[in-house]
Structure 1
Amino acid sequence: MYRRRELLQIGCSSFFGLGLTSLLHQRAQAAAIDARAKSVVLVFLTGGGSHIDMFDPKPESAEVKGEFGVIDTAIPGVQFSDQMPGMAQRADKLAIVRSMRHGDNRHLSGTHYTITGSIQPFRGNSNQDKSLHRGDWPSIGSAVSYLRPRSDRLPSQVTLPNPLIEGVLVWPAQHAGFLGPKYDPFVLKDDPNSDDYKVRGLSLLEGLDKTRVQGRRDLLQDLDRAAMMSESSPQVQKYSDEQETAFTMLTSSNLKTALDISAESDEVRDRYGRHKYGQTLLLARRLVEVEMPVIQCNMGHVQMWDTHVDHFPRLKTMLPALDTAVSALLDDLDERGLLETTLVICVGEFGRTPRISPLAGRKVPGRHHWAHGYTAVFAGGGVMGGQVIGRTDKIGGSPVTVPFSPADMGATIFESLGIDPHQMIPDRLGRPRHLNTGEVMQPLYTGEVT
């Protein structure tokens, strides 16, 4: 006997003219678009990195420029902060989009928008209302898992090196949202730069081997089939899906091998930098080699780049580490012939304020949340390097050219992986929703800004 909610789930798709057959057909067609990239590496500056102190300096504005100087890049007439010399030398590989903009200055919902490409459903204004929720949109890799599952049944996204959690708050967009846990990413919870780094959750318990695990799986499947005959419900299916995902990850060597950073030489590890940023991006390269579609690399703990206080002292450590790590990743991918099929993006949920000021009650000034104008940097995956797309006003506050949004970035990621960003997916009640409402950022590939 069906519950009322299940009847609604079954009926809504047909009511809206998009039945199960149509949705399955769309999933089958998800790979029909020619892909530009096999993998996307999102270098995520959680907390919001300062665009002015990295890729869009304003040396002529005394009130904005801050403590850092500028440096010429490989693009004539284009300058970066002097804290980013490696990226400046490799600017011929980069498309620097200086006209990113959206309207959300809050960390949690801004992160949701950036990582999913969709605005977070409104549930209230408190931080708790914006915490991780199954009613949210899926992370991009989770949507890829749903639309184009891997043949080896592994998740289509790995998040490194830690989840985004602060106290009781868990940042949204870190799972598959309304698509369900079957499509959740694998989230690492270990620092690859630590001496005791170990990939937890991907090892069999002592005394177990794959044969014994397979036997236990067969028994569980027999029990599950009996349970489903007595109660066909989303809860039973959810449990079965979670079991299947866990079994796949435990018995597959691909993911565990890719995350084994000890397989790399000291020379390579030193090249990336012996810090969390560097070793995280080295793991990203290893995941690219096994064609993991989406690799989210959180640069530090949650809100690491939220520099309201001690802004410049903190960036004097953080920026050189980021510069070294991203530069090494680009070089390594290029030397291995992987950059052309790997889209690399460096961005935060927003930028930082042009003006430098202290928070109330604080003496040391910093820069604060600023979604009205900021920078995203793209490389590889067919992107035309050596170009700056868009520009901000004289203080770096707002774009004076056509702006791009996180929705546009999301559409670009989906399209780069060969997935139509405008197709329909079902929400929790089976209602059809557009996967993404943005537009592909065509200037990345054409060099022409319309």
Structure 2
Amino acid sequence: MTDPLHEARLKYNRRHFFGKASLGLGALTLGSLLGCGQDKAAPDLPAAIKNLHLPPQAKRVIYLFQSGGPSQYELYDHKPLLRERNGEELPASVRGNQRLTGMTANQSSMPLAGSLFGFKQWGESRAWVSELMPHVGAIADELCFIKSMHTEAINHDPAITFFQTGSQQAGRPSIGSWMSYGLGSENENMPAFTVLLSRGAQRPQPIYSRLWGNGFLPSLHQGVQFRSGKDPVLYLRDPKGIDRHARRDFLDKIAKLNELRLQDFGDPEIQSRISQYEMAYRMQTSVPEVMDLSDEPDEVFELYGEAARKPGTYAANCLLARRLAERDVKFIQLYHLGWDQHVDLPREIASQCRDTDQASAALVVDLKRRGLLEDTLVIWGGEFGRTNFSQGTLTATNYGRDHHPRCFTIWMAGGGVKPGVSYGETDEFGYNIIKDPVHVHDFQATLLHLTGVDHEQLTYKHQGRRYRLTDVHGKVVKDILV
């Protein structure tokens, strides 16, 4: 006859012990995210879930990530000297010992390349914006341009991974996952973190789903990708022959089995699985409704551009971002691919701007007129900038630019950021920062600060160490805050 006590001892192994030890935290975190019985004073809750560390100015974030590295010289960082000295060699004193990619490290000449596109100053802020971005220029007084961004990463994958996770190595949680973990969701029918992808006509660098992954955080914090087509979220539809009543009954029984498994093993991931099944059930109604643009008036499509009528375009995704923001989705991530102009830059970047300029500006305008911009943080930018010299042959009408991590430009709007500001400055060659540098970790710390979270307190213990988005770095850029 089997001894029940002996069987229990055999089951209670090391993994089981640690699983049980983490059960309380997982249960409380899950409860807070599902909005069911959250106890704000519960001592085991992560600090950012118990209460916000700071008064939040942004309730949600829309991140318009321009994958590939947009050239700052053609868009926002006006450098007349490059035109004056077009074709001359980049002075060695300017470059110094800075690292180059393998694509230009052995290039015999580094001829300075002035932009072929005109610039002018816009609005009361007198911000310089290229003729390629007239719609963005028209809203310059709403924007905060950061012209002194810099990073250590010089190639696409580690650079994008660094921006999105705080580490150049894959495996860490993404910004959206940290926000989902720290702040939860205010809409039980929608995920806290959503992702939309679009691409230009150029050769895009690949984008990997790990960029919106949860890393070592519980899996319910991973980003949910919305797609164009009849199935916006994969595997959301009921199988043929299964109606809503049958689906509900099925989920209830699966939940009971999972709860039994949870009692046996105490694995918080089982709780995540239960919550994900329930979220998928609720999303069967909420997602089709948010993806259906038929209720948008014609003037909205005129604002965003006719491309907004075509699912999967950047313009359509910007419009969807506004609809998601209206439904209190915490972190809305857009990726637009195709900004990697090593060759044929004038033609290709003009195409990218036609795809993105109007819709980017329209999103800011639309949010403002609906009263959402003041508590929605909008971010536009890529993973690094481009070189001030031409990669390969420079001609009167054609050139390319290599990766340049030492300085580049992004812009932000709303959500507690000062409007009509240009922060940071590069030298007359546009190669080095000479005033107010902003590192990637500073950007991340500032983003979290605006949402009410102290970046040094939002931590998660993994493999014996407490991790955070900004690692052991980062400072809030207070000069750009309202």
How far, CA to CA, are the matches of 2:179 and 2:297 in structure 1? Answer: 32
Q: 1:108, 1:172 within 8 Å by CA — same for their partners in 2?
A: no
Counterpart amino acid of 2:391?
Answer: S
Alpha-carbon separation, structure 2, partners of 1:364 and 1:79? 23
Q: Give the one of 58, 62, 71 matched to 1:50.
A: 71
What code does the residue aligned with 1:140 have? I
Task: Choose 88-97 or 207-216, whichever is displaced more.
Answer: 207-216
Q: Does 1:316 align with 2:350?
A: yes
Query: Match for 1:161 among 197, 201, 225?
Result: 197
- How much does 1:112 deviate? 1.5
For 2:295 and 2:151, the matched residues in 1 are separated by 41
TM-score scaled by structure 2? 0.78
State the partner residue of 2:144: 95
CA contact under 8 A between 2:386 and 2:404: conserved in structure 1?
A: yes
Aligned partner letter, 2:326? E
Please list every run of 5 or more consecutive structure 2 residues that lacks an aligned counterpart in the other structure: 1-10, 23-41, 84-111, 308-312
Map of 1:2-401 to 2, 5 A cutoff?
A: 2-4=12-14, 24-62=45-83, 63-75=112-124, 77-116=126-165, 118-121=166-169, 130=170, 136-153=171-188, 154-161=190-197, 170=208, 172-190=210-228, 196=229, 198-201=231-234, 202-230=236-264, 232=265, 234=267, 237-252=268-283, 253-275=285-307, 276-300=313-337, 304-358=338-392, 365-401=399-435
For 1:23 and 1:305, locate their aligned partners in 2 and report how far apart those are by CA, in whole Å: 44
Aligned-pair identity (%): 28
Q: Distance in 2 between matches of 1:170 and 1:220?
A: 31
Asked if the contact 1:139–1:175 (Cα under 8 Å) also holds between the matched residues in 2, the reply is yes
Identify the range of structure 1 (340-349 vs 318-327) with the bigger mean alpha-carbon deviation.
Answer: 318-327
Per-residue CA distance 1:27-62 (angstroms, 9 max, x = gap): 433435211011111110011111111111212322
Aligned letter for 1:70?
F
CA drift at 1:284: 0.5
Q: Partners of 2:273 and 2:426 in 1: how far apart?
A: 46
Q: Does the C-alpha gap of structure 1 residues 60 and 197 become closer, same or farther in structure 2, counting only changes over 3 Å?
A: farther
From the superposition, tell whether residues 381 and 309 of structure 1 become closer, same or farther in structure 2 (CA, over 3 Å): same
Task: Name whichever of 313-322 and 341-350 sits farther off.
Answer: 313-322
C-alpha separation between the residues in 1 aligned to 2:376 and 2:206? Answer: 35
Describe the SS at the equivalent of 1:218: helix
Return the offset for 1:70. Answer: 1.1
Rg comparison, structure with higher value: 2
Give RMSD over aligned pairs.
2.9
Give distance in 1, aligned partners of 2:349 and 2:174. 28
Contact 1:9 1:429 in 2 (8 A): no
Q: Is 84-93 or 150-159 further displaced after alignment?
A: 150-159
Question: How far apart are the structure 2 equivalents of 1:336 and 1:444?
Answer: 24
Secondary structure of 2:80's match? coil
The match for 2:442 is 408
Deviation at 1:3, TM superposition (A): 4.8
Counterparts in 2 of 1:34 and 1:107: CA distance versus 1, 3 Å: same
Other structure's SS at 1:61 match:
helix
Query: Counterpart in 2 of 1:126?
Result: none
Question: What one-letter code is carried by the residue in structure 1 that aligns with 2:298?
Answer: D
In structure 2, relative to structure 1, the CA distance for the partners of 1:336 and 1:76 (3 Å cut) is: closer
Q: Which runs of 4+ in 1 moved over 6 A?
A: 8-12, 165-169
Residue range with higher mean Cα deviation, 423-432 or 103-112: 423-432
- Matched with 2:102 is none
Q: CA deviation at 1:339?
A: 0.9
In 1: Cα distance, 2:233 partner to 2:192 partner: 19
Q: Shift of residue 173 of structure 1?
A: 2.5
The aligned amino acid for 1:290 is R
CA contact (8 A) 2:180 2:221 kept: yes
Asked if structure 2 preserves the Cα contact closer than 8 Å seen for 1:109 and 1:172, the reply is: no
Instruction: Show CA shifts across 1:216-264 (max 9, x none).
Output: 111112212333344x164xx4255234213313324334422223332
Query: Partner residue of 1:425?
Result: 459
* Paired residue type of 2:218: G
Q: SS of 1:114's equivalent?
A: helix
Structure 1 position 313, deviation (Å): 0.7
Whole-angstrom distance in 1 between the partners of 2:253 and 2:350: 56
Cα distance change on mapping 1:229 and 1:350 into 2, 3 Å: same
Post-superposition shift, 1:425?
Answer: 2.2
> What is the total number of aligned residue pairs between the two structures?
410
**Which TM-score applies when normalising by structure 1?**
0.83
The structure-2 alpha-carbon separation of the partners of 1:372 and 1:223, relative to structure 1 and needing over 3 Å to count, comes to same
- The structural deviation recorded for 1:280 is 0.9
Alpha-carbon spacing, 1:365–1:239, altered in 2? closer, same or farther (3 Å): farther
Q: 1:79-134 deviations in whole A, cap 9, x for unaligned? A: 21111111112111111110111111121111122123x1234xxxxxxxx5xxxx
Given the superposition, is the C-alpha separation of residues 90 and 393 from structure 1 closer, same or farther in structure 2, using an over 3 Å criterion? same
Q: Deviations over 1:115-156 (max 9, x none)?
A: 23x1234xxxxxxxx5xxxxx221122112212222544431
Superposed CA offset, 1:316-365 (max 9, x none): 111133111111111111111111111111010111111122289xx963
In structure 1, distance between residues paired with 2:302 and 2:325: 19
Q: Distance in 1 between matches of 2:359 and 2:447?
A: 22
Distance 1:11 1:245 in 2: 22
Query: Which whole-Å CA distance do the structure 1 matches of 2:80 and 2:13 have between them?
Result: 64
